């Protein structure tokens, strides 16, 4: 659906050159939700802006549905852009227009026949749950409601692809989740392909099928969300994954616990019965597992759990217990360091 190949973008300003994108390649399949995560300045917005040519790439290609968009005439580009909707962190609503008008005006501008506009505006405001706010002005809406108007506006053009640039970053956690659920509904019910960028791992975890991690204009890792969550390879990816599992262990606690045993992070995939496994370990081996912290959660629709366990006992016996756990399909990572007051490895 979206094929990005060796895409580069260099900004030249008085201060010098910035290579915001360096030969980025990725493919977003039809019907999937693809997330790009990275810290501020990684090049995410530049990447997404190159997909609808709000930004002209310096090199490389972007194909949408097989059409190379970087070489289109301005007339064909307008046509191609109609397939692509976009939502932003700042909503970009017209302040002096009502909710209804915010959706209707762009439709009018793109030449949708008058008799169709009313029907479309009503349909999409209904889908985002704002049918009763038609006559309100943006200033009378909450952040979540403003983003719903922006989503209705994007959907009203009946795009095949929705691009989202940090659409939930200005929202509180509950509102974030309600907007993410709306994006999921749009994806599932209308089959709209979504490419989103974010700096929040929670967004990836909740709705993305696949994820790419960006740093310094490059993609450093990509894969299916669950795979990336369970076995992050790049240090930046590991940092993002650990931000979800924020086990509050201080360096002093780690040091003290390691005197009597090992601290192990256990990862369970597609399994929810971890406690019996630990009970079996305690019975079978001369070790005492003590759960320090844990979380069972979902990555998109799949259950995924992580437990931080202190295994008290002799090193050899602990190793045998861990071997046993690995044979049960449980991943085991030794925790020996503690950094930044949250990172464990
Ligand atoms: N219009 C521009 N002119 C000059 N530099 C820019 C411009 N837009 C972005 N950059 C630079 O490109 C890099 C990537 O920016 P951006 O794509 O906005 O990152 P992100 O969205 O991941 O925070 C940054 O170093 C930023 O300062
Ligand atoms: Mg950005």
DSSP for 15-69, written as a single string: TEEEEEEEEEEEEE-TT-EEEEEE-TTSSHHHHHHHHTTSS--SEEEEEETTEEG
Residue to mutate, 7, 18, 37, 212, ligand 1, most ligand atoms under 8 Å from C-beta: 18
39 lines ligand 1 (CB under 6 A): no
Residue to mutate, 20, 50, 165, 213, ligand 1, most ligand atoms under 8 Å from C-beta: 20
Give the three-class secondary structure for 306. strand
235 lines ligand 1 (CB under 6 A): no
pLDDT at 267: 84
Cα radius of gyration (the chain) = 24
198 lines ligand 1 (CB under 6 A): no
Nearest by Cα to 154 from 81, 205, 204 = 81
Ligand 2 ion: nearby residues, β-carbon < 5 Å: 45
Give the three-class secondary structure for 149. helix
pLDDT at 286: 95
Rounded-to-10 torsion of CA 143, 144, 150, 153: -140
pTM of the model: 0.85
CA of 311 to the centre of ligand 1 (A): 46
Residue ranges for the chain with pLDDT beneath 70: 246-248, 270-275, 336-345
**In degrees, to the nearest 5, what angle opens at C-alpha 193 toward C-alphas 189 and 196?**
115
Q: Are the beta carbons of 345 and 334 closer than 8 angstroms? A: no
56 lines ligand 1 (CB under 6 A): no
CA of 188 to the centre of ligand 2 (A): 26
CA of 285 to the centre of ligand 1 (A): 55
- Looking at 254-301, which runs of residues are DSSP E strands? 261-269, 288-299
Query: What burial class does residue 5 get, using C-beta atoms within 10 Å of its C-beta: 0-12 exposed, 13-18 middle, 19+ buried?
Result: middle
pLDDT at 338: 52
Q: Are the beta carbons of 322 and 341 closer than 8 angstroms? A: no
45 lines ligand 1 (CB under 6 A): yes
115 lines ligand 1 (CB under 6 A): no
């Amino acid at each position: 659906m979206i094929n990005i190949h060796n895409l580069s973008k260099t900004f030249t300003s008085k201060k010098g050159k910035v290579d915001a994108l360096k030969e980025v390649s990725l493919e977003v399949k039809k019907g999937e939700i693809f997330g790009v995560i990275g810290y501020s300045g990684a090049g995410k917005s530049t990447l997404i802006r190159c997909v609808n040519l709000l930004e002209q790439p310096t090199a490389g290609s972007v194909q949408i549905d097989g059409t190379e968009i970087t070489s289109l005439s301005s007339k064909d580009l307008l046509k191609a852009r109609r397939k692509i909707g976009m939502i932003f962190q700042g909503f970009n609503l017209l302040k002096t227009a009502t909710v209804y008008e915010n959706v209707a005006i762009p439709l009018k501008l793109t030449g949708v026949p008058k008799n169709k506009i009313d029907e479309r505006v009503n349909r999409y405001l209904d889908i985002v749950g704002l049918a009763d706010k038609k006559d309100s002005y943006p200033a009378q809406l909450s952040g979540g409601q403003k983003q719903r108007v922006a989503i209705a506006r994007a959907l009203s053009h009946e795009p095949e692809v929705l691009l989202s640039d940090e659409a939930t970053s200005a929202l509180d956690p509950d509102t974030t989740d309600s907007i993410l659920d709306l994006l999921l509904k749009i994806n599932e019910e209308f089959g709209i392909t979504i490419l989103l960028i974010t700096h929040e791992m929670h967004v990836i975890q909740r709705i993305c099928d696949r994820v790419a991690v960006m740093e310094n204009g490059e993609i450093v890792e990509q894969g299916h969300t669950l795979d990336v969550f369970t076995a992050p390879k790049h240090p930046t990816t590991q940092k993002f994954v650990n931000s979800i599992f924020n086990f509050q262990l201080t360096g002093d606690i780690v040091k003290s616990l390691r005197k009597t045993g090992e601290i192990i992070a256990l990862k369970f995939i597609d399994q929810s019965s971890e406690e019996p496994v630990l009970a079996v370990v305690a019975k079978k081996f001369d070790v005492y597992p003590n759960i320090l912290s844990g979380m069972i959660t979902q990555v998109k629709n799949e259950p995924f759990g992580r437990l931080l366990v202190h295994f008290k006992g002799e090193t050899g016996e602990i190793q045998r217990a861990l071997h046993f756990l690995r044979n049960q399909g449980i991943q085991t990572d030794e925790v020996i360091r503690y950094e930044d007051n949250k990172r464990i490895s």
